[in-house]
């Protein structure tokens, strides 16, 4: 299922007909009906006055509601002519996507600023539901070059900027230093999963926790975090447009994960939130977003350690994906609202405010010039997340560009890790599903 088109070319080719993506059939909201990205031109805002009131839709990523309120208060003091209404649009990125879809269909009630995750925002770009920000960033003097390159470039498609980084993260390896000490283990994250497999029995023998390691809920972000395992085994969900989840290496990676639960019996699967389980001492280690860092440090009654993600038998570096969300502006609102929205997005991304948001959540400081001295003095673990950013890897096409694929990956992982399904069978079924999505919903747009 190979198709020689890279990511940027793919989205540059997206036409008005891309609105026919059958997202609902793949577990996500139907985002059809837009004008199409190729017809969304830069607008002229030179004679526009910003709206007096705008809505900001968010799911408060990383439990950020308090700091979001703080940022809004700061913004309104600096911009007394603009009121920002903080709207809880759901508890997850998927909730926001559904609410945004409903507002698009009704052609009313749209926000001015909306949080869009890594696997949802490009769908709205394809359908013309969000505007390019280039004219606004130029008019407002936004220093785009001061944003961290790997984060801001995630939203550059078709030669334009479609969102700005906001709650950006990588997974981190979290470990309980007290448990490691009790088990006689070194005070560091394991370099590979094989090394951790040697450590896990020692943690179990020490009787320090219910599980040596806790996987996250499979219905959550298994498609995101398990890229680490697949990449470590020398494969992935896909390579470019080739779906590779049924390869021998992919099956071996997922078999290893299943064995950690059923044969080794040292790993568990969280029913709610693995970061909360870890902070409660239920598990000695876990993989969780950097956005969970501050909450874990606050709630844990033990000394928390963090490290880079472990590698595998074939790759020990560049096995960590980026993720999270950016801030976008809908196309179906007035220029006055769009200008006010861009003014707010600029403010949120200013270096001082980027540092403030990072300090409150543990997410990446999205600006290069953000002064993290005070933040790191209080939370030195954030430096590990910043350092790991240099060895992150672009996510697999299959996860971020195939509509609904993330949910399908989660379902497959759940069958393997919570129902002990046959790994080879489940991964072959997943390939069939992903290839079907590609053939029906993506490939026709590439050849249009």
Q: Report the CATH number at residue 199.
A: 3.40.190.10
Kindly state whether residues 404 and 290 are assigned to the same domain. yes
Instruction: Find out whether 148 and 389 touch, Cβ atoms under 8 Å.
Output: yes
Q: Is 12 part of a structural domain of the chain?
A: yes
Q: Is 388 part of a structural domain of the chain?
A: no
The single-letter DSSP state of residue 2 is: -
| pLDDT given for residue 220 in this prediction | 74
Q: Is 123 part of a structural domain of the chain?
A: yes
Which of 134, 133, 141, 139 lies closest to 114, judged by CA? 133
| pLDDT given for residue 265 in this prediction | 97
Kindly state whether residues 219 and 193 are assigned to the same domain. yes
| pLDDT given for residue 263 in this prediction | 98
Kindly state whether residues 254 and 308 are assigned to the same domain. yes
Kindly state whether residues 64 and 116 are assigned to the same domain. yes
Q: Is 387 part of a structural domain of the chain?
A: no
| pLDDT given for residue 38 in this prediction | 39
Alpha-carbon dihedral of residues 224, 229, 231, 233, nearest 10 degrees? Answer: -160
| pLDDT given for residue 9 in this prediction | 42
Q: Is 333 part of a structural domain of the chain?
A: yes
Q: Is 355 part of a structural domain of the chain?
A: yes
Kindly state whether residues 183 and 266 are assigned to the same domain. yes
| pLDDT given for residue 91 in this prediction | 94
Q: Is 315 part of a structural domain of the chain?
A: yes
User: How many domains does the chain divide into?
Assistant: 2
d(CA 322, CA 341): 25
Across the beta sheet with 53-58, the strand order is 83-88, 53-58, 113-117, 323-328, 164-169
| pLDDT given for residue 41 in this prediction | 58
d(CA 384, CA 305): 10
Q: What is the tens place of the pLDDT at every residue in 18-50?
A: 333 333 333 333 333 344 443 445 788 989 999
d(CA 434, CA 380): 41
Kindly state whether residues 264 and 329 are assigned to the same domain. no
| pLDDT given for residue 213 in this prediction | 98
pTM: 0.82
Kindly state whether residues 311 and 331 are assigned to the same domain. no
What's the angle, vertex CA 315, arms to CA 256 and CA 9, rounded to 5? 105
Kindly state whether residues 191 and 275 are assigned to the same domain. yes
Kindly state whether residues 46 and 115 are assigned to the same domain. yes
Instruction: Find out whether 61 and 361 touch, Cβ atoms under 8 Å.
Output: yes
pLDDT tens for the chain, 448 residues: list them: 433 344 444 443 333 333 333 333 333 333 333 444 434 457 889 899 999 999 999 999 988 999 999 999 999 999 999 999 999 999 999 899 999 999 998 888 999 999 999 888 877 887 789 999 999 999 999 999 999 988 888 888 778 999 999 999 999 999 999 999 999 999 999 999 999 999 999 999 999 999 999 999 998 789 999 999 999 999 999 998 899 999 999 999 999 999 999 999 999 999 999 999 999 999 999 999 988 898 999 999 999 999 999 999 999 999 999 888 999 999 999 999 999 999 999 999 999 999 999 988 888 899 999 999 988 998 899 899 999 988 998 889 899 888 889 999 999 999 999 999 999 999 999 999 999 999 998 787 665 4
Buried b (16+ CB within 10 A) or exposed e, 18-54: bbebebeebebbbbbebebbbebeeeebeebebbeeb
Kindly state whether residues 328 and 302 are assigned to the same domain. no
Kindly state whether residues 337 and 411 are assigned to the same domain. no
Kindly state whether residues 304 and 329 are assigned to the same domain. no
- Which two three-digit tokens encode residue 97? 């996507």
| pLDDT given for residue 5 in this prediction | 42
In which domain, by residue range, is 420 found?
171-321+396-446
Q: Is 439 part of a structural domain of the chain?
A: yes
């Amino acid at each position: 299922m190979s198709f020689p088109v890279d990511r940027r070319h793919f989205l540059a080719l997206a036409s008005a007909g891309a609105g026919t993506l059958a997202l609902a059939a793949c577990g996500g909201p139907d985002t059809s009906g837009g004008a199409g990205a190729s017809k969304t031109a830069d607008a002229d805002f030179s004679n526009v006055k910003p709206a007096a009131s705008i809505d900001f839709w968010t799911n408060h990523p990383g439990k950020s509601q308090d700091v979001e309120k703080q940022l809004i208060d700061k913004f309104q003091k600096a911009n007394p002519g603009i009121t920002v209404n903080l709207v809880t649009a759901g508890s997850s990125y998927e909730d926001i996507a559904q609410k945004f879809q409903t507002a698009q269909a009704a052609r009313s009630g749209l926000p001015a600023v909306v949080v869009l995750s890594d696997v949802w925002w490009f769908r709205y770009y394809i359908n013309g539901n969000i505007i390019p920000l280039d004219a606004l960033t130029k008019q407002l003097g936004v220093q785009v070059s001061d944003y961290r390159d790997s984060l801001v470039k995630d939203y550059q498609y078709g030669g334009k900027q479609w969102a700005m980084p906001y709650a950006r993260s990588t997974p981190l390896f979290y470990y309980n230093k007290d448990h490691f000490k009790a088990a006689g283990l070194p005070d560091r994250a394991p370099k590979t999963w094989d090394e951790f497999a040697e450590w896990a029995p020692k943690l179990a023998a020490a009787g320090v926790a219910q599980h040596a390691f806790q996987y996250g809920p499979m219905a959550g972000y298994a498609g995101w975090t398990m890229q680490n395992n697949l990449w470590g085994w020398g494969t992935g969900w896909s390579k470019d447009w080739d779906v590779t989840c049924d390869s021998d290496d992919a099956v071996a990676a997922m078999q290893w994960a299943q064995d950690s639960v059923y044969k080794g019996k040292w790993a568990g699967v969280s029913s709610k939130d693995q970061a909360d389980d870890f902070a409660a001492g239920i598990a000695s280690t876990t993989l969780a977003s950097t956005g969970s860092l501050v909450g874990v440090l606050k709630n844990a009654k033990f000394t928390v350690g963090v490290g880079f993600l472990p590698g595998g038998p074939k790759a020990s570096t560049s096995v960590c994906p980026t993720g999270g969300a950016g801030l976008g502006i809908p196309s179906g609102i007035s220029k006055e609202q769009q200008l006010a929205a861009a003014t707010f997005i600029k403010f949120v991304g200013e270096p001082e405010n980027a540092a403030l948001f990072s300090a409150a959540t543990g997410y990446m400081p999205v600006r290069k010039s953000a002064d993290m001295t005070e933040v790191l003095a209080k939370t030195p673990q954030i430096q590990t997340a910043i350092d790991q950013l240099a060895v992150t890897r672009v996510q697999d096409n299959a996860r971020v560009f195939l509509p609904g694929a993330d949910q399908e990956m989660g379902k497959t992982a759940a069958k393997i890790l919570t129902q002990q399904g046959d790994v080879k069978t489940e991964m072959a079924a997943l390939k069939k599903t992903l290839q079907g999505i590609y053939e029906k919903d993506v490939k026709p747009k590439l050849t249009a």
